[in-house]
Amino acid sequence: MFNRFHLVKKYLPYYLTASNGKGHGVHSPFVFNFIRYVLNDKKAYPCYSIIEEKRKELLSNETVIEVEDFGAGSSVIKTNKRIVKDIASSSLKPKKYAQLLFRMVQYNKPKTIIELGTSFGISSAYLAAADNGPDVYTCEGASSIAAIAKQNFEELGLKNIHLTEGDFSHTLPAVLSQAGKIELAFIDGNHRKEPTLNYFQQLLNHSTGSTILIFDDIHWSAGMEEAWEEIKQHPAVSLTIDLFFIGIVILSPDINHKQHFTIRF
Ligand SMILES: C[S@@+](CC[C@H](N)C(=O)[O-])C[C@H]1O[C@@H](n2cnc3c(N)ncnc32)[C@H](O)[C@@H]1O
């Protein structure tokens, strides 16, 4: 169960113990480069303002839509009739994190990306906007939400996003076999322990020699904390970076000494 108190209680020790985000004393080349060229890249990329304009439109959209409730979903809204702007303000990754996703793709150049939890397509747009034009396979259960995401992709001119509708438990196996090998995945839906571990295992089976998995809300609940701990301990995991609101997992046989980092962001 989500518990705001749980989140606050976890945030304080994270804040006090995390590395300062400057990279001093970090001996992992991957993490050093990540901090220097991705985390701290302050450049204003042209796609930022275009996608944030779309977010702004969603945040003022008063349309009422009928929404199926999937998984742990949103912690704020409980009814099935929802206003677009309310979903936009409670479900979409804030720009700080969404733009970090963009920079991770821009820097690491993954060709094939999976996203679980499209919502209105803001994070999908950031993932797809990188120069290398990756194929982004994104999955969304609520059809009324998916319809708005599709329209947004069209308006943004992003033809490299492939949206699949339906419950992840039904759609993920087919999407993974269509996509083949996965170089980056963003898991941002159904934040519960067992489903998260199940998605992790499925993604693992489609990983390459250097796959990056990004899990949202790893400290959101006791169940998500447990899932994150299990993922960290998995033998296939080479390195993890805890940024509190997201957790980054690197699967790479080239890193032979497992390490966990907590970095302030
Ligand atoms: C947090 S939102 C995604 C936000 C989006 N990634 C962004 O930052 O722009 C999570 C989405 O996942 C969908 N979802 C949750 N559980 C699901 C499931 N089991 N199957 C399909 N969709 C699901 C919800 O309908 C919701 O739209």
Q: Is the CB of 54 under 6 A from ligand 1?
A: no
Using the mean position of ligand 1's atoms as its centre, give its distance from the Cα of residue 188 in Å: 6
* Superfamily for domain range 4-48+92-262: Vaccinia Virus protein VP39 (3.40.50.150)
The model scores a pTM over 0.75: yes
Contacts of 208 (CB under 8 A, 6+ apart): 181, 182, 183
DSSP lists the bridge partners of residue 210 as: none
Domain residue extents for the chain: 4-48+92-262
- The CA distance from 73 to 200, in Å, is 18
- Cα-Cα-Cα-Cα dihedral sign, residues 62, 190, 9, 13: negative
Q: Give the residue with greater pLDDT, 78 vs 169.
A: 169
Counting from 1 in the atom list of ligand 1, the atom nearest the Cα of 122 is 9
Q: How many Cβ atoms sit within 10 Å of the Cβ of residue 29? A: 9
Counting from 1 in the atom list of ligand 1, the atom nearest the Cα of 71 is 16
* pLDDT tens digits, 218-228: 999 999 999 99
Burial class (CB within 10 angstroms; exposed 0-12, middle 13-18, buried 19+) of 12: exposed
* pLDDT tens digits, 111-122: 999 999 999 999
Using the mean position of ligand 1's atoms as its centre, give its distance from the Cα of residue 11 in Å: 23
Q: Is the pLDDT of residue 78 over 70?
A: no
Host H or E run for residue 242: strand 239-242
